[in-house]
Structure 1
Amino acid sequence: MAGLSAPAAWAFVTRFAPSPTGPLHLGHAYSALLAHDLARAAQGSFLLRMEDTDSERSKYAFEAQILDDLAWLGVRWDGPIHRQSDHIAAYNRRLEPLAARGLLYPCGCSRTDIRAALAAPQEGVPHQTYPGTCRSRTMASRKPGDALRLNLAAALEQIGTARFVETGPTHAGTHNINPALAQAQIGDVVLSRKGENIVAYFLASALDDADHGITHVVRGEDLFDFTPVQVILQGLLGLPTPTYHHHRLIRDETGKRLAKRDDARALSKYRAEGATPQDIRRMVGL
């Protein structure tokens, strides 16, 4: 837990935000335990959020298993569980001011590409910067099935300097968002898709962090490169920017990041074999 100091009790609020699309594995256990331990050490709050906007892959059975695994680990959260699927309409309403400022445009490109853009980024999965095919379209031309993209260049012009503080082991320091680099690496991200009751990970996560008073975001370093998207959205919407702590990833023997498809690393398997919560802590380096 080195690198992230504990502020005053009232000033520390963090969260664990899994997607119920599979069982928890060792990497999830590390992230949940680290965030939980930091919150308790700071006498702060630890919240639980289900990022279940992917209606095709999110399952109640996975959520139930996640809750059972967290309880077994000794992770206790404060307040009710926040499920993003219950708030899709509210997220989309928050986009209306951006549309009114000319920062959004409809996009009718490949459905497969757009659905991929709505999901959380993953290590090893290349991000394809959007070439701007639909950038000249107006909101009046939006059709059923069209997505909404953020005009990143226009957004960066409106917010001016954007920065965030990182306390993780790899990228610690204050990071100023370079407009040219952001446009080259991130591009015009998708924020929602009309008619499919789905919003982007970037948008829902940024809004929830602000609404829930999150002061410290603790998550894997595979999400570091996309933090600027959320910081830009925070700036556009007048939201506070939390401190970020991107922790190391738990990897297998070959150095590959664990994923939900790695059932051999699922906590349920270790539990069935007789492992204890302390065994899991030792396995992930806590």
Structure 2
Amino acid sequence: MPYVTRFAPSPTGPLHLGHAYSALLAFDRAQAAGGQFLLRIEDIDQSRARPAWEAQIYEDLHWLGLSWPTPVMRQSDRLPQYRAALQTLWDRGLLYPCQCNRRDILAAVSAPQEGAEPAYGPDGLIYPGTCRALPRPGEIPEQALRLNLAKAIEALGPAPLRFEETGEHPAQHEIALATLPDTLGDIVLARRDMGTSYHLSVVLDDATQGITEVTRGADLFEATQIHVLLQRLLNLPTPRYHHHRLIRDDQGKRLAKRDDARAIATYRAEGASPQDIRQMVGL
């Protein structure tokens, strides 16, 4: 199978050195394998996405020497595909509507329970199941939708989740389904203001683009169990995963889009070259 990887930024701010490292690493791995590097624009959060930031992404990446096939996949063009997947899961009884906001969830998980601390998973606070037992309407409502994890595990059978990690610590991972309620909870698969979620969209997009290896930061490693779970539920292939180190500031903090001083465009304006950027990120 030909090698295919991708870089999938969100157009919500300037690309920084961390983005440069991830994009360059993915591009280099594709080149070394004689494969393909794809660009995808993850713009499901339309409240924050801006055309100017998307244009800046193309400009910065071209300046770094990267190229990719066009047209570029944009998540905002794929809402019908996400809706179809949600409908499939809904028809199987694996989703339920949730009306809780973050304050409700925090209040529920912070209630005194023998001094136990609230549990966190890769999607934040583990949901306590407040809305799980409420009556389910006949059709998908226009509100947040959660995966009923207990029913999903029952539907999948006993086989563990499996995926191959090719990053700094290569391994064949197996995750027992019985552990997921404690580590994931009932994750959100559609947010009220988006009609989808990062986890659902990224799984469907990777499958549609034929991604054979996902190249992304180590901060997303724990989310991989969510993605492999959804791949199993939706009968999609599981790619390999290459989680790379994160680029940090002088205090050891991971870079964020608010770190404009480390934006690629800032270095360009100060006269840096693409090779300078490679050296800064250790390539």
Query: TM (normalized to structure 2)?
Result: 0.89
Segments ≥4 residues shifted beyond 3 Å: 111-114, 141-145
The answer (yes or no) to whether the contact 1:217–1:244 under 8 Å persists in 2 is: yes
Pairing 1:30–2:28 present: no
Q: Tell me the CA shift for residue 198 of structure 1.
A: 3.1
- Paired residue type of 1:14: T
2:251 matched to which residue of 1?
A: 254
**For residues 58 and 20 of structure 2, what CA distance do their matches in structure 1 show?**
12
**Partners of 1:151 and 1:138 in 2: CA distance:** 13
- Where 1:94 maps in the other structure, the secondary structure is helix
Matched ranges for 1:2-13 at <5 A: 10-13=1-4
SS at match of 1:246: strand
Match of 2:215 in 1: 218
Matches within 5 A, 1:78-157: 78-110=69-101, 127-140=124-137, 145-157=142-154
| Greater mean deviation of Cα atoms: 91-100 or 65-74 | 91-100
Q: Which residue of 2 aligns with 1:59?
A: 50
Identity of aligned residues (%): 59
Q: Deviation of residue 112 (structure 1)?
A: 7.4
1:277 equivalent to 2:277? Answer no
**2:141, 2:241 → 1: CA distance?**
36
Q: After alignment, is 23-32 or 72-81 more displaced?
A: 72-81
Deviation at 1:104, TM superposition (A): 0.6
- What's the counterpart of residue 6 of structure 2? 15
Aligned with 1:199: secondary structure?
A: coil
2: distance between equivalents of 1:91 and 1:169? 32
Give the drift of 1:141. 6.8
Gaps of 5+ in 1: 1-9, 115-124
Secondary structure of 1:92 counterpart: helix
Q: 1:183 to 1:177 in 2, by over 3 A?
A: same
Q: CA, structure 1 residues 242+112, in 2 after alignment: closer, same or farther (shift >3 Å)? A: farther
Residue number among 38, 62, 68 corresponding to 1:77 in the alignment:
68
**AA matched with 2:75:** Q
Bigger CA radius of gyration: 2
Question: Would the aligned equivalents of 1:106 and 1:138 in 2 still touch at CA under 8 Å?
Answer: no
Partners of 1:41 and 1:76 lie apart in 2 by 15
Counterpart position of 2:174: 176
Give, in angstroms, the shift of residue 97 of structure 1. 1.7
User: How much does 1:137 deviate?
Assistant: 2.6
Secondary structure of 1:65's partner?
A: helix
8 Å Cα contact 1:30/1:284 also seen in 2? yes
Aligned residue for 2:44, secondary structure, equals coil
How far did residue 267 of structure 1 move? 0.5
Distance 2:123 2:231 in 1: 25
CA distance in 2, matches of 1:29, 1:62: 15
Cα RMSD after superposing both structures: 2.0
Task: Determine if contact 1:164/1:231 at 8 Å carries over to the other structure.
Answer: yes
Q: Distance in 1 between matches of 2:48 and 2:215?
A: 24
1:282 counterpart letter in structure 2? Q
- Give yes or no for contact 2:146–2:190 (8 Å, CA) kept in 1: yes
Give SS of 2:153's match: helix
1:97 aligned partner, one-letter code: T
**1:59–1:129: structure 2 CA closer, same or farther, 3 Å change rule?**
same
Per the alignment, residue 203 of structure 1 pairs with 200
For residue 39 of structure 2, give the secondary structure of its aligned residue in structure 1: strand
Aligned to 1:163: 162
Following superposition, the deviation at residue 92 of structure 1 comes to 1.1
Counterpart in 2 of 1:191? 189
Distance 1:60 1:95 in 2: 28
Which residue type is aligned with residue 135 of structure 1? R
Deviations 1:208-267 (A, max 9, x none): 111111000000000000111110110011100000000000011111110101111101
How far did 1:183 drift? 1.6
The answer as to whether partners of 1:251 and 1:257 remain within 8 angstroms in 2 is yes
Normalising by structure 1, what TM-score?
0.88
* Gapped regions of structure 2 (runs ≥ 5): 106-121
The equivalent of 1:119 in structure 2 is none
Amino acid at match of 2:45: D
User: Which AA in structure 2 matches 1:177?
Assistant: I
Q: Determine the structure 2 residue equivalent to 1:120.
A: none
What code does the residue aligned with 1:101 have?
A: R
